[in-house]
């Protein structure tokens, strides 16, 4: 296949079109021929940026100001990330997550489906036999039987023969029955609460209430469908939010900044890991909710009745924010489209229209003759989505989502959980210099494909046709672990949300891929790992930012959790960015940007350009400052993760049968190799790191199996 990124004139365009027509010889349908032609012509026009064939968005002078202005200037100050002074993790005061130790295992997807629709038992039994015949090797040509395959096959067949109405999922089977109608698929993903589980939860609830009484506290215990229990501690029968406005001098360790306990801010505390007194005074417990939270956690852990008990940690998005400097007048050629600034999607290379840190999307769009499918669903668990953004408000790619932020103070929208995932802003403390609303989820979702691509406006996303489900779990000052856990499960179609009247609201578009561009400087919380395991067991792929603390990602979550695709951030050279986490837990390197560099010499910072309401912008046609705009350069592992989510969505669009680990393994198999230097940094910045052999000034920062390069995926013939 010819490489479209190297064709910049009409003659090359005709050659590429001939290549598309050649695809027809591979037994293509007329529809595939037409689609290949459309994609090829679109790619030619995008790259060429001139002539009558160019789409309207490539000529900046011909589009409105809102379709071309963007924010982001090259940062001249050195990037300093001091891990010793990095903010400690925080937790929501009075909120605790626990899981009883003897909780029975949840039904498998097929068990859940049959429990709700018994008439499907016979159909699923037949399907199970079909899966066995198709998925498991039996006898080889010589007549011998492969012993490992035989051992894998036997328990599957035994289970079906013993109870065909409840097919048990084992290694080697699909996590979700395939070829089911959408209504049955939704049922198969839902968890079902058994009587035994309710009994175990009831006993655990009694233990929690007894412990609260012992400490002179009161509160609420919520029982969930997944077996987890959420405790909200109050005092003297009051609502748990009673401590929100207490002065900091009365409650030590509250929040992270001076004055942050004033009305209107969520109540949270630094995770100081305080030891509970041996015989805590009840009056002291009632007066200090931070101490009460610590004592409740430690007491319940010591009971031995729980698999885990942990505080409700507060997660942050993984932008690496710096003071927003006023724009500098920069001469930009008026015929350069915003696409020309999106080096992160370019093909990997050093030629014209390529970038050493590019992720190869152009070649994939061209060679695979696809820009995505709306049958593929990517859930973005983040700050929500700016529904008023002009490149999003009319997008067919956005499906109904949910707002999982339970604390009204954190929600910043006047209420708790509801069906509106719109992002009202997440500014925590307006008194902090340069603080602003991040619209983080909008930037992340735009990279994946929430915004309309190839429409003559703004920027392009990785998957032009995809279904994006926004799930808001982060709000003002961050996001609570309890909300994030529920958001992940709702995104995967495993638990319902509830409307204002108490009716169940299920996600009718269960995610194939869940993007988590969030972070917490803690080992992976057990409840978060539970939520991740639940959705991955049912066939979803969870993609996570590795984190921006430039430490081993095992100290971070969810980047250090199990069963996630952990993504470190690279710059335009394909080198690990100076802020990025690293380590053996990282799976791959993807473009995250570096606002302090301009390695491609385009006069703009090497950040990731995507959708976001921003300030301190400029008009690339006139070079004049603009107060607000809808596109911005950002940097962070938050920007790297959605590139991987978009790549997975494109692979699944081309190969719909890929699911779960088979999908992520497919992407891992086409990563581009890197040099040692690309995963190394100056040793004086990373004390104790292992020096590169032969270069004592550079130290290794393991950054996964390779660099994301979608162009290496085989084309469909």
Torsion of CA 59, 61, 67, 68, to 10 degrees: 90
- Three-class DSSP category at 701: coil
Residue 513: how many CB atoms within 10 A of its CB?
Answer: 29
Burial class (CB in 10 A: 0-12, 13-18, 19+), 217: buried
State which H helix or E strand residue 91 sits in: strand 90-100
Half-sphere exposure of 74 toward its Cβ, with a 13 Å CA cutoff? Answer: 13
CA distance 473 to 231: 19
> What sections of 497-599 are H helices per DSSP?
526-537
CA distance 443 to 439: 7
**φ and ψ at residue 441, rounded to 5 degrees:** -65, -30
Structure tokens at 549: 């603390």
| Contact call for residues 158 and 166 (beta carbons, < 8 A) | no
Based on the residue annotation, tell me whether 382 is a catalytic residue of this protein. yes
CA distance 117 to 104: 22
- Three-class DSSP category at 674: coil
CA distance 237 to 229: 20
**φ and ψ at residue 374, rounded to 5 degrees:** -75, -5
DSSP secondary structure letters along 596-645: T--TT-SSS-BSEEEEEEEEEEE-TTT--EEEEEEEEEE-SHHHHHHHHH
| Contact call for residues 610 and 597 (beta carbons, < 8 A) | no
Structure tokens at 494: 């495993």
CA distance 587 to 585: 6
Q: Which of 317, 440, 575, 643 is catalytic?
A: 440
Task: Give residue 62's Cα distance to chain centre.
Answer: 35
Structure tokens at 635: 């940097």
Half-sphere exposure of 295 toward its Cβ, with a 13 Å CA cutoff? Answer: 23
| Contact call for residues 625 and 633 (beta carbons, < 8 A) | no
- Three-class DSSP category at 84: helix
Structure tokens at 24: 């027809």
Q: Determine the longest span between alpha carbons in the chain, in angstroms.
A: 83
Q: Which of 316, 382, 483, 512 is catalytic?
A: 382
Positions marked active-site: 382, 440, 638
């Amino acid at each position: 296949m010819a490489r479209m990124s190297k064709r910049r004139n009409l003659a090359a365009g005709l050659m590429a079109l001939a290549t598309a027509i050649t695809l027809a010889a591979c037994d293509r349908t007329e529809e595939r021929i037409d689609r290949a032609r459309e994609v090829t012509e679109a790619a030619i026009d995008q790259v060429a940026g001139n002539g009558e064939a160019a789409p309207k968005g490539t000529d900046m002078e011909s589009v409105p100001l809102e379709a071309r202005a963007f924010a982001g200037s090259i940062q001249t100050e050195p990037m300093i990330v001091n891990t010793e002074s990095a903010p400690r993790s925080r937790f929501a005061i009075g909120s605790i997550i626990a899981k009883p130790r003897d909780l029975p295992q949840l039904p498998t997807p097929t068990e859940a489906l049959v429990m709700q629709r018994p008439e499907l038992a016979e159909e699923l039994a037949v399907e199970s036999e079909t899966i066995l015949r198709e998925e498991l090797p039996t006898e080889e040509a010589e007549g011998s039987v492969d012993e490992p395959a035989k051992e894998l096959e036997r328990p599957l067949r035994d289970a079906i023969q013993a109870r065909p109405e409840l097919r048990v999922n084992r290694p080697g089977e699909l996590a979700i029955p395939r070829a089911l109608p959408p209504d049955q698929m939704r049922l198969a993903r839902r968890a079902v609460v058994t009587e035994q589980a309710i009994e175990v939860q009831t006993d655990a609830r009694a233990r929690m209430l007894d412990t609260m009484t012992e400490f002179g506290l009161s509160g609420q215990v919520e029982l969930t469908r997944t077996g987890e229990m959420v405790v909200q501690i109050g005092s003297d029968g009051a609502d748990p939010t009673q401590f929100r406005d207490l002065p900091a001098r009365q409650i030590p360790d509250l929040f992270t900044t001076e004055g942050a306990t004033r009305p209107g801010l969520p109540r949270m505390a630094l995770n100081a890991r305080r030891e509970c007194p041996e015989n805590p005074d009840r009056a002291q417990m009632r007066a200090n909710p931070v101490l009460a939270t610590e004592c409740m956690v430690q007491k319940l852990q010591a009971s031995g009745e729980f698999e885990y008990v942990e505080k409700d940690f507060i997660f942050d998005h993984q932008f690496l924010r710096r003071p927003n400097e006023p724009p500098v007048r920069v001469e930009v050629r008026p015929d350069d489209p915003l696409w020309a600034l999106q080096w992160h999607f370019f093909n990997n290379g050093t030629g014209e229209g390529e970038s050493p840190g590019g992720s190869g999307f152009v070649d994939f769009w061209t060679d695979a003759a696809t820009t995505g499918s709306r049958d593929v669903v990517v859930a973005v668990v983040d700050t929500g989505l700016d529904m008023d953004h002009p490149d999003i408000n009319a997008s067919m790619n956005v499906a109904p989502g949910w707002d999982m932020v339970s604390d009204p103070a954190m929600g910043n929208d006047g209420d708790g959980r509801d069906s509106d995932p719109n992002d009202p802003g997440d500014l925590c403390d307006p008194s902090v210099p340069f603080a602003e609303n991040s619209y983080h989820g909008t930037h992340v979702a735009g990279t994946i494909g929430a915004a309309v691509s190839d429409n003559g406006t703004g920027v392009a996303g990785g998957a032009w046709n995809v279904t994006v489900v926004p799930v808001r779990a982060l709000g003002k000052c961050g996001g609570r672990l309890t909300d994030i856990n529920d958001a992940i499960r709702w995104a995967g179609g495993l638990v319902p949300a509830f409307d204002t009247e108490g009716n169940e609201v299920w996600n009718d578009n269960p995610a194939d891929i869940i993007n988590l561009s969030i972070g917490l400087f803690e080992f992976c919380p057990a409840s978060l790992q539970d939520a991740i395991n639940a959705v991955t067991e049912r066939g979803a792929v969870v993609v996570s930012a590795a984190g921006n603390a430039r430490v081993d990602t095992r100290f971070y979550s969810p980047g250090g959790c199990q069963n996630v695709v952990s993504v470190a951030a690279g710059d335009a050279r394909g080198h690990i960015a100076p802020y990025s986490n690293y380590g053996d837990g990282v799976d791959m390197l993807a473009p995250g940007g570096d606002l302090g560099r301009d390695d491609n010499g385009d006069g703009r910072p090497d950040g990731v350009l995507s959708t976001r309401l921003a300030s301190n912008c400029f008009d690339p046609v006139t070079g004049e400052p603009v107060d607000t705009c809808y596109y911005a350069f950002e940097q962070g592992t938050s920007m790297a993760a959605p590139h991987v989510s978009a790549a997975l969505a494109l692979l699944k669009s081309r190969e719909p049968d890929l699911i779960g680990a088979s999908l992520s393994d497919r992407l891992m198999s086409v990563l581009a190799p890197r040099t040692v230097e690309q995963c190394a940094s100056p040793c004086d910045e990373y004390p104790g790191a292992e020096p590169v052999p032969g270069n004592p000034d550079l130290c290794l920062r393991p950054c996964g199996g390779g660099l994301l390069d979608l162009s290496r995926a085989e084309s469909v013939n």
